[in-house]
Structure 1
Amino acid sequence: MSDINTSPPTRQSVNLNWLVFFLLLLVGVLVLRTLYPNISPLLDPTAESRAVTPRGDLAEDEKATIEIFREASPSVVHIITVNQVIRNSLVLDQPQGVGSGFIWSDDGYVVTNYHVLQNSGGAKVTLANGTTHDARFVGASADFDLAVLKIDVPLVKLKPLMLGESKNLQVGQKVFAIGSPFGLDQTLTTGVIGGLGRQIPSRETNHTIQGVIQTDAAINPGNSGGPLLDSAGRLIGVNTMIYSPTGANAGIGYAVPVDTVNRVVPQLIQTGQVVRPVLGIAIWADQTVQNLVRLHTLPREGVLVLAAPYSGNEENKNRLRSTRRNADGQMILGDLIIRFNDMDIKDSSDLNRALDEHKVGDEVDLLVLREEKEIAIRVKLRSPETGIQMLGDDDIPDPTDDESDPNGTD
C-alpha cells in the first residue's frame, strides 16, 4: 500500500494560490469594464437639481377647458344628505349619502337629482368656496329624476350656470362634467356626446325619460345631479345615471336634457311638483292599432282615439272625434293622431314623448286621419288627475266586432 502525503502545504504553494486568485479577479474586472464601460459610482456627492425646461403656452384646447372649469365650477355644489338621529338626548344629523348639484338662480335655488335626496331627512349644500349651508326642500319629480333645494346665503353672491339648449346638440360635441364622484368635490371630467334621443326609465316610476343625452365623460357615484356642459360652458344636461355592470364608470353615462330641465324646474319652484300635460282622451292599445293595420282597417300606425270628452262632429271639426257607431249600428273608428306639432306619431310612446316637451295650457297642432282624410286640429293641453288613459284589449270593445259597444268603457 502506497503512502499518502499528509504534510501541510508549503508557504510557496499558498502564495501561488493567492496570486492565481488575484489574477483571475483582475481579468474579471477588465472583462466587465470592457463589456459595460458606462458603469459609474452609485452615489454622486456633486448631484444638483436639474434645470426646468420652459413650458411655453398651453395648447388652445387646454386653455378652453381650463376656462370652462374656472367659469362654471363656482356654480357647482356638493350635496350631503342626512338623517336625524337621537344620541344622548341630542338630535344629530347623520350623513347618509353624497351627490352633486348646481346653482339655478342667484336667489338660492339649487338643482339636483330626485334620487340623490330620496329617503333622506335633509340635505346640506357645500359651495365652491367651502362653506356649508342647510338646504330646504322645494319640490321634486320622480318622473324626470329632478329636485330643487333652497339655500339662504345673503352674504354670498351666487353664480347660476349659463343655460344652453339640448335640441340642437350633435353627436361628437365635446362635453364637460363637474361634480363630486366618490365625494371628491369639484372634479372635472371630459368626453363627447356619444348618442342623443336615448330613453331611460325613471328609478321610481314607470315613466320613461325621453331625449336623454349619452356621454363617455366619466360619471361615477357622486356625480348624480351635477351639470353636463358644452364647450361654451353652458348647461346642456343633468347627469343622472350610468350604464355599468360594476357600478363604476364604463364609458356610458346619461344626462337629462336641459330643455326638459328648463321646463320642469320652474314648475317645481312655483308649485313644488310637476303636472304632466295630457290631451284628456282615452286611446286604443298600441297592439290593437297594429292589428288593425295588419287587417288593412287602418292605413297606417298612430294613436287611435277611443273617447274624447268633447268629441267632434260634422258641425265642429276642430275637436278630436271618438270611436262611435253610425245610424246603422256600424262602428266608426275615432281620429288617428299621426302628428303632434312637427313630430310624427306612430304609437303612444311617441305621443308621451311629445307631451313631455310641453306644459299644461300649451296649445299644440295635431294632424289626424279621419275617414281617410287628413285634418289639422289645434288643442289645449290639460291637467287631469291621471295621464292618458291606456285601455287594453280586455277592457275595450273589439273594433272588428259589430256587436261590441265602445261607449261602455269611457
Structure 2
Amino acid sequence: MPLLPRLAPLRAQLRARAVSGFALVALMLVSAGGLLWGADSLAREAQPRSVSPRGGLLPDEQAVVRLFEETAPSVAYITTETVQRNVLGGAEVSQGAGSGFVWDNAGHVVTNFHVVKGARRVFVQLDAGKPIEAEPVGGAPEYDLAVIRLKRVPANLRPVPLGSSRDLRIGQTVYAIGNPFGLQRTLTKGLVSALDRELPTANFREVVGVIQTDAAINPGNSGGPLLDSAGRLIGVNSAIRSASGSSSGIGFAIPADLVNRVVPSLINKGRAPLPGIGVTPVRPDLVARAGITGVVLAEVGRGTPAAQAGLVPFNQRTGDVGDVITAVNGRPTETLSSFVAELERAGVDNSVELTVRRGERERRVKVRVIDLRE
C-alpha cells in the first residue's frame, strides 16, 4: 500500500489534536482573562473608603481630654539606680521606675517612699523633656511618702492643683495618671470604690483613710496622682491588691488631706511627725502567742503622756502583764497596727481616750498625742 494513504489517518488525528489544543489554549486564555478581570474588579472595590465626618467630642470626652492635657505635663516619670550585693558579694546596679508629680514651683516632686528607697541616683522626666537628676529631701516610710527636689528647675513647672479627700463620696469618678510598666503618661479612669481603708506600711503602722479605687493601677503607677473630675489631686496612688501583681480592680491611694500634712513637714524638716503617747509595745507575735487581745506595754517613757496617765508596763521580774490598751476613742485596738492607726487618725497635739484593762478591771484615761520624733 502506498505510503501517503497510510499516513492519512495519522494526519487526521494530528489535526484533531491541534484543534483540541487550540480550543484548550483559547479556553485558558478566556479563563485567565476572566480571572484578571475579576482581580481588577476586586482591586477597584478594595480602594480606601472615604472617612465619615465625626463631629465634635461629647462634652464629657472634652472634659477628660482637657484634664489629661492640663495635668500630664506635671506628672513625673521617675527612674532610680540602686546598688545591690549579688550572691558572690559583688556590687550590682539595679534600676527601678515609678511615678510622681510636681508639688510646687521650687522643684519639689512627691512620690512614694518605696519608689526611691535606697536609691543611689534619682532621675525625673517631665512631659517630653530630658531626665533631670533629683536629690532626696525627706521620706516618711510610715506614710509611704517621699519628696525629692530637681537639681535643675525648669521655668514652666506646673504643680498639680490640690483637692481634698475629706469630702469624697463612693461612686464619684476618679482618674489615675502614671507610668505603668514604664509606659509613660498613661491615663486610666474609675470610681471611688470605698473610703477609710487601711494600708499597712512600716513598723506595724497603717495609713488610715485610704481611698480604694477600681481605676487601673499597675506597677509603675506608684507615686502618681489620683485626680477628681475637676483635675485636683485627691490621693497618691500607692498599692494594688492582686495575686498576679497587676491590676485586678482594687487599688489604693494615700488621701490628699494626709499628703498635705506630711509633705510640708518633709520639705521643711526632712521628716514627718510620728504620733505616739510615749510607750514601747511588746512585739505583736508574743502578745498573740500569749492569747492576749490588745496592746501590751513593754516600757513607759518617763515624763510622757502615758506616764502622766498612770499606765503601767509589763513587769519582767514578776510576770505581771500590767496595762493592756484595748480601745482608743471607743474603737477596738485588737492589734498594734490598729492602735497606731487610731493615734494617726487623732493626730499630734490632740487628746485621745484610752480604754485600759488591768487584770479584771477596766478603766478609761485621757492621753495627749505627741510627736515621738521631737
| TM-score computed with the length of structure 2 as normaliser | 0.72
Structure 1 residues without counterparts, runs of 5 or longer: 1-5, 85-93, 294-300, 312-317, 326-330, 386-410
Residue in 2 that maps onto 1:68:
67
- 107-116 or 145-154, which moves further after superposition? 145-154
The 2-side partners of 1:374 and 1:83 are apart by 50
Shift of 1:246: 4.6
Residue in 2 that maps onto 1:80:
79
Shift of 1:110: 0.9
- Preserved contact between residue 80 and residue 123 of structure 2 (Cα < 8 Å): yes
- Preserved contact between residue 352 and residue 366 of structure 2 (Cα < 8 Å): yes
Deviations 1:333-387 (A, max 9, x none): 74755333x755454332211122354x4212315367878756252424169xx
Amino acid at match of 2:336: S
Deviations 1:72-127 (A, max 9, x none): 2232122232469xxxxxxxxx8833321111122221111222222322222222
Shift of 1:59: 2.0
Matched, 1:14 2:17: yes
1:46-195 matches, within 5 Å, as 50-82=49-81, 96-128=95-127, 130-153=129-152, 156-195=155-194
Partner SS, residue 156 of structure 1: coil
Matched, 1:379 2:365: no
Amino acid at match of 1:225: G
Shift of 1:52: 3.2
The 2-side partners of 1:101 and 1:40 are apart by 57
Residue in 1 that maps onto 2:309:
319
Q: Structure 1 residues 190 and 9 mapped into 2: Cα distance closer, same or farther (>3 Å)? A: farther
Deviations 1:31-60 (A, max 9, x none): x99xxxx9862333x997644322222123
Shift of 1:163: 2.1
Shift of 1:156: 0.8
Considering only aligned residues, what root-mean-square deviation do their CA atoms show, in Å?
4.6
Deviations 1:232-288 (A, max 9, x none): 212222222334455444444332232332232222212212342111236688897
Amino acid at match of 1:364: S
Partner SS, residue 254 of structure 1: strand
The one of 271, 290, 295 equivalent to 1:273 is 271
Matched, 1:356 2:359: no
The 2-side partners of 1:110 and 1:210 are apart by 23
The 2-side partners of 1:336 and 1:182 are apart by 44
The 2-side partners of 1:21 and 1:48 are apart by 35
Amino acid at match of 2:237: N
Q: Aligned residue pairs: how many?
A: 349
1:176-325 matches, within 5 Å, as 176-202=175-201, 206-281=204-279, 319=309, 321-322=311-312
The 1-side partners of 2:361 and 2:204 are apart by 34
The 1-side partners of 2:125 and 2:78 are apart by 6
The 1-side partners of 2:314 and 2:48 are apart by 91
The 1-side partners of 2:128 and 2:28 are apart by 69
Amino acid at match of 1:281: V
Amino acid at match of 1:213: I
Partner SS, residue 41 of structure 2: coil
Partner SS, residue 111 of structure 1: strand
The 2-side partners of 1:375 and 1:276 are apart by 24
The 1-side partners of 2:288 and 2:79 are apart by 48
Q: Structure 1 residues 289 and 112 mapped into 2: Cα distance closer, same or farther (>3 Å)? A: closer
Amino acid at match of 1:365: V
The 2-side partners of 1:282 and 1:133 are apart by 42
The 2-side partners of 1:25 and 1:225 are apart by 71
Partner SS, residue 237 of structure 1: strand
- Preserved contact between residue 327 and residue 339 of structure 2 (Cα < 8 Å): no
The 2-side partners of 1:60 and 1:246 are apart by 37
| TM-score computed with the length of structure 1 as normaliser | 0.67
Partner SS, residue 69 of structure 1: helix
- Preserved contact between residue 365 and residue 379 of structure 1 (Cα < 8 Å): yes
Partner SS, residue 328 of structure 2: strand
Shift of 1:217: 2.5
Residue in 2 that maps onto 1:42:
42
The 2-side partners of 1:149 and 1:185 are apart by 19
Q: Structure 1 residues 283 and 244 mapped into 2: Cα distance closer, same or farther (>3 Å)? A: closer
Amino acid at match of 1:319: A
Q: Structure 1 residues 302 and 179 mapped into 2: Cα distance closer, same or farther (>3 Å)? A: same
- Preserved contact between residue 296 and residue 314 of structure 2 (Cα < 8 Å): no
Amino acid at match of 2:99: S
Q: Structure 1 residues 306 and 147 mapped into 2: Cα distance closer, same or farther (>3 Å)? A: closer
Partner SS, residue 260 of structure 1: helix
Deviations 1:108-162 (A, max 9, x none): 2111122222232222222225154331211112232221111255661422222
The 2-side partners of 1:369 and 1:207 are apart by 21
